[in-house]
Amino acid sequence: MFFQLGNYDNAISCVHDSGTIRTLFDRQLYQRKGILSSEDQLSLKTTMSSQNQNRDKTEYMAVFAMMGGRKVKLVEGIEGRRAGEAMVKTISDYLKP
């Protein structure tokens, strides 16, 4: 997901093996992988909030998963809590047999 000039976070998911690859200008910085087996591993966190001139507040969310004792960011830059909760539900539905 694009969030800054040249900085990308690509999510990978195959069956229940999941992870992210962080790249900067097409160069891989790091890669995190793990096995995502239950929805209990997922968490939704507020990563940033902004307020415009009309005092309308916007929250930006990220979905994390605990895999192998590490907190792995699966998705970031989600605008609004409802959209973040919908993303967690989509991932949870994917995990169900």
User: What secondary structure letter does DSSP report for 55?
Assistant: -
CA 74, chain centre distance (Å)? 3
Q: Which of residues 65 and 16 earns the better pLDDT score?
A: 65
What is the 8-class DSSP label of residue 80?
Answer: S
pLDDT at 36: 80
Domain count within the chain: 1
* Structure tokens given for 38: 């239950």
Yes or no: say if 32 and 88 are a contact pair by the CB < 8 Å rule.
no
| Whole-number average pLDDT of the chain | 78
Residue 46 has pLDDT above 80, yes or no: yes
Residue 1 banded pLDDT, cuts 50, 70, 90: very low
The mean-pLDDT minimum among 3-7, 62-66, 85-89 falls in 3-7
In angstroms and rounded to an integer, the radius of gyration of the C-alpha atoms of the chain is 14
What is the domain extent for residue 54? 2-95
Phi, psi at residue 16, to the nearest 5°?
Answer: -120, 5
pLDDT of residue 9: 52
With 50 as the cut, is the pLDDT of residue 84 above it? yes
Cα–Cα distance measured from residue 3 to residue 77, given in angstroms and rounded to the nearest whole number: 7
* pLDDT category of residue 4 using cuts at 50, 70 and 90: very low
Per-residue pLDDT band for 10 (boundaries 50, 70, 90) equals: low
